[in-house]
Structure 1
Amino acid sequence: MLIGEVARRAGVSTRMLRHYDALGLVRPTGRTVGGYREYSEADIRRIFHVEGLRSLGMSLRQIGRALEDPAFTPAALVGDLVRRTEDRLKREQELLERLRTIDASAPSGWQGVLRVVELLHGLDSPRAARRQQAVLAPAEDVPLPAELLARAVLAEADPNVAGALRWALARAGSDGVASVAPAVRSADVAIRRRAILAIAELPGDEATALLADALGDADPDVRRHAALAAGRRGTAAATPVLVAMVVEGTNDVEAAEVLGTLARDPARAERILGAFAGEIAGHPADPAVRIRVAQALAELPGTTAHALLRQLAGDEDRAVALIASALAGVLEERPGR
């Protein structure tokens, strides 16, 4: 069969068939009287074998070795092709994500595109200082996409870089909350913690609602971060978690300050006092808890906590009694009493 007919049947150009011949990959077994290439049925089968292996992404050199070497093992080659294909797909997926990120930022000009590309490169750095620098670099009035910042802050383990990302996300506008919100329901507790820390710095009712929902999270750290942020926004539902933080001694000073802010409302103050009274009664053998409660009571406004402090001033533990007495005296000297 002549080269033109072979090309038609095999779906391979005559130019490629000549290239195969020159490489010694598929050489026609015969020639016509006029010197034209003439392919046998075995030659055509070999062409189909070559094309099949090419479809797997093999180079012509690899194909030649595979067809000529009797000791060649297909499994090793296929395994190598799988790994190389996975690597290529990963790189292409990363490129696709970058392009989508740039597209989502709706850049108005090349300056916007270059700023996002610069940020992407910086955030890929293994050096925390470089990642932080990329976030804090002058933006030149080019807004950064909230989706990109949210994805970065949810993956960032370094506290300094995470802080810079949260700052940038807060400046990104109303899209910030929507970009982070799904992560609050993540199965990965580390992601939920990062999400709550980010939401805590974002304004708006939607952020406040997410913080309130996180007060019931299974992870104590998520609950604590949510309680501090929600309490600062006036969410009374944060009170039980904040009281528990004082009792446990976990960020108890911050928790006491937030409780002091919530207690400016008389109805909330009554609930906070009731919660602390229950904790005093519930920890008769732990003076450290009663000391922390006494210190937290001193953060409450006006005369709200005076009676409880006077009760603790008579505590059987001398350290508790002295601290409570001193704090009660401080409250009595406050202006406006």
Structure 2
Amino acid sequence: MTNLVTQLASGLSQMDPSARLQTALTAGTYPDDAFLEVLVERCAIEPDFSVREMLTWALTRLSHDLVLERVIAELDSPIAQARSQALHTLSKLRDVRAWPAITMAHLHDTDDEVARTAWRTATGLAPLQEHDALAGELKHEFGRGDVDVQRSLARAMVDLGDSGEKATREALLAGAPRVRIHASATLRLIHDPEATFYLDPGDEL
């Protein structure tokens, strides 16, 4: 077994991303809980998006409770990518026991990728009775980041339903111009989730 783990670590350290992708695919196709630590550690540093997705899939193929515990621990990592990948993995595990581990620090993380992944994961795991509080916290992120980040927050508010709409309207009424533009775009998406998200500078008036 030690040999297999060593082979996995070696394969995931190859220069060629295609080789790393194949290694991660093999780990998921023939899952073994002994792979857990190597897969989690690679998630924190893997530069290729497709490989990271395959690593996440491979993790979901291992024993659920073991992965859940280890990935929750990774939320405290000082490495931003480790936190974002841990949150992403939790969104795939869909286990509500992870909900308490998503903190205000994650929702307001200074790293945009961590924050937007936290928004998506939190809205997917939060119990219904927590939706108002979560939406109330997320409304403080209106106006943040580029259009991709703002679209992510808008989608989170859509997923929170009435709670998301209420918080968005509050931001629209009380926010600075950039916040109002973002909140208006979000309301359009709430009313038509299939619509294209766009920012209209005229909404700041």
Q: TM-score, normalised by structure 1?
A: 0.43
Q: Take 2:108 and 2:11, find their aligned partners in 1: how far apart are those partners?
A: 28
Task: Quote the offset at 1:313 in angstroms.
Answer: 1.8
- Matched residue type, 2:138: F
Q: Take 2:131 and 2:145, find their aligned partners in 1: how far apart are those partners?
A: 20
Query: What are the within-5 Å matches in structure 2 for residues 6-85 of structure 1?
Result: none
In the other structure, the counterpart of 1:162 is 20
Equivalent position to 2:30, from 169, 172, 177: 172
Q: Take 1:163 and 1:215, find their aligned partners in 2: how far apart are those partners?
A: 24
Q: Flag the structure with higher helix content.
A: 2
Q: Take 1:212 and 1:200, find their aligned partners in 2: how far apart are those partners?
A: 16
Task: Quote the offset at 1:331 in angstroms.
Answer: 2.1
Which runs of 5 or more structure 2 residues have no equivalent in the other structure? 47-51, 194-205
2:80, 2:114 within 8 Å by CA — same for their partners in 1?
no
Task: Quote the offset at 1:227 in angstroms.
Answer: 1.4
Greater RCO structure (CA 8 Å; 6+ sep): 2
Equivalent position to 2:68, from 208, 214, 239: 208
Q: Take 1:228 and 1:162, find their aligned partners in 2: how far apart are those partners?
A: 19
In the other structure, the counterpart of 1:193 is 45
Q: Take 1:226 and 1:216, find their aligned partners in 2: how far apart are those partners?
A: 10
Q: Take 1:262 and 1:288, find their aligned partners in 2: how far apart are those partners?
A: 23
Cα 1:261–1:171 change in 2 (3 A) is: same
**Does 2:189 align with 1:325?**
no
In the other structure, the counterpart of 2:124 is 261
Cα 1:270–1:161 change in 2 (3 A) is: farther
In the other structure, the counterpart of 1:112 is none
Task: Quote the offset at 1:289 in angstroms.
Answer: 4.7
**Does 2:152 align with 1:300?**
no
Task: Quote the offset at 1:213 in angstroms.
Answer: 0.9
Task: Quote the offset at 1:182 in angstroms.
Answer: 6.4
Q: Take 2:185 and 2:43, find their aligned partners in 1: how far apart are those partners?
A: 43
1:48-103 Cα offsets, whole Å, 9 max, x none, are xxxxxxxxxxxxxxxxxxxxxxxxxxxxxxxxxxxxxxxxxxxxxxxxxxxxxxxx
Task: Quote the offset at 1:191 in angstroms.
Answer: 8.1
1:140-163 Cα offsets, whole Å, 9 max, x none, are xxxxx7425422244234433222
Q: Take 1:268 and 1:200, find their aligned partners in 2: how far apart are those partners?
A: 28
- Larger Rg computed on CA atoms: 1
1:150, 1:180 within 8 Å by CA — same for their partners in 2?
no
Q: Secondary structure at the match of 2:160?
A: coil
Q: TM-score, normalised by structure 2?
A: 0.65
1:298, 1:327 within 8 Å by CA — same for their partners in 2?
yes
RMSD, aligned α-carbons: 3.6
1:107-126 Cα offsets, whole Å, 9 max, x none, are xxxxxxxxxxxxxxxxxxxx
The percent identity for this pair of structures is 14
The number of residues matched between the two structures is 175
In the other structure, the counterpart of 1:272 is 134
Q: Take 1:181 and 1:274, find their aligned partners in 2: how far apart are those partners?
A: 36
Which runs of 5 or more structure 1 residues have no equivalent in the other structure? 1-103, 106-144, 281-286
